[in-house]
Amino acid sequence: MLNELPADDRTDFLEELPSNAVRELIKLLDPDERKITLSLLGYPENSIGRLMTPDYVYVYPEDTIEQVFATIRKYGKDSETINVIYVINDKGELLDDIRIRDFILNPPDRRVSELMDNRVVSLQAYDDQETASEVFKMNNRVALPVVSNSNKLLGIVTIDDMLWVAGEEFSEDMQKMGGTAALEEPYIEMPILRLFKKRVIWLIILFFGELMTISAMHQFEAEISKVVILATFIPLIISSGGNSGSQASTLIIQAMALGEVTVRDWWQIMRREIFSGLLLGLTLCVLGLGVIFTWHILSPETFGEHYMAIGLTVGFSLTGIVLWGSLMGSMLPLLLKRLGADPAASSTPFVATLVDVTGLLIYFSVAYILLRGTLL
């Protein structure tokens, strides 16, 4: 069974096993298959070299189309795909790739060199797998050649492998955005203790982060005791900032994953988020004022004669906190990317915790300014 498996699938299977099991299984392979497998396993984990297969059809520039079809009939059965035929020279260097339809639509006596345009897109064996995914999307290909640093054709990577990589990366990012380490196994099959370890680290980090929220509230304990109604709006204030930060973080991480933005676009992103944050904050500000004024009409004793000042405090705080949350949510993924970390780790939990602490500072600072001399 191992000998019959495609080389890339066999490599994917073996890299999931313990090293002692891999050593024993490799002994069962035929010499040629063993050589191929060892060469693929020699590439770094998550590199394109781990995904490539040596099963492809190649021809030479001097071949005629009739000779090309003879080559396809001879080797095509074992090839991963025959949609694209690769052209190499005597040194094994990649010259071009030609779709099979071009061979079908041309006369048998025409030479391969006459069909070549020398515009070939290739991948490097040591490139990251995410890089290959981007190249596939940009070039609309079902397969791409993989070359060495000296442009020697080593193998090909097919779209089915790229779809698998994209699915893995998406799952990993989703798990990190939810505040847990990436799971290497399906959720239902992962042992409870290992699942506990994946989740507890982030919970401990966020636990200590939220302790700063308690510290911030303690600093304004006197103000809260004087105007108890301020405490009523704390969940509304900090959740609005956390939600806006999570929105911005998710949008930027997705844009980075799709290659739409890079770290160099930070100023343009910041400028957009300033305007977006202001518009979103002012919208919530108007809603907050409307709720408090309506509440005052229905129950005048709730806020008393200073309902206008309390409404402005809540409204201005919402504007500032939503703006701050948008900026933090958009800039943190870029900062982590610049530092070489995974941007997905900065999403919902981390941004929300950070904005909780700073949001309280903004809220009570606005309250101190607007209510000083009246309620404070």
Instruction: With cut-offs at 50, 70 and 90, classify the pLDDT of residue 67.
Output: very high
More confident residue, 183 or 28: 28
Instruction: With cut-offs at 50, 70 and 90, classify the pLDDT of residue 376.
Output: low
Highest mean pLDDT among 105-114, 330-339, 357-366: 105-114
Q: For residue 348, what pLDDT is reported?
A: 64
The yes-or-no verdict on residue 276 having pLDDT over 90 is yes
Average pLDDT, the chain: 83
Q: For residue 214, what pLDDT is reported?
A: 72
Token pair of 123, please?
């991948």
30 neighbors 3 (Cβ within 8 angstroms) = yes
Q: What's the fold here for domain 47-158? A: CBS-domain (3.10.580)
Residue where the block lists tokens 């408090």: 292
Average pLDDT over residues 12-24: 80
- Could you report the per-residue pLDDT of 230-252, keeping only the tens digit for each? 888 888 888 888 888 888 888 88
Residue where the block lists tokens 């636990």: 207
The yes-or-no verdict on residue 55 having pLDDT over 70 is yes
Give me the amino acid identity at 318.
L
Instruction: With cut-offs at 50, 70 and 90, classify the pLDDT of residue 319.
Output: very high
- Count of helices and strands (H, E) across the chain: 14, 6
Alpha helices in 299-347 (DSSP H): 307-338
364 neighbors 316 (Cβ within 8 angstroms) = no
Token pair of 168, please?
């893995």
Helix (H, G, I), strand (E, B) or coil at 154: strand
Instruction: With cut-offs at 50, 70 and 90, classify the pLDDT of residue 173.
Output: low
The yes-or-no verdict on residue 77 having pLDDT over 90 is no
Task: Please give the distance of CA 257 from its chain centroid, rounded to a whole number.
Answer: 5
Domain layout of the chain by residue ranges: 1-42, 47-158, 187-371
All residues at 6 or more sequence positions from 195 whose CB lies less than 8 Å from its CB, including other chains: 183, 187
The yes-or-no verdict on residue 183 having pLDDT over 70 is no
Looking at domain 187-371, which of 1.20.210.10, 1.10.357.20, 3.30.470.20, 3.40.50.1000 is its CATH number? 1.10.357.20
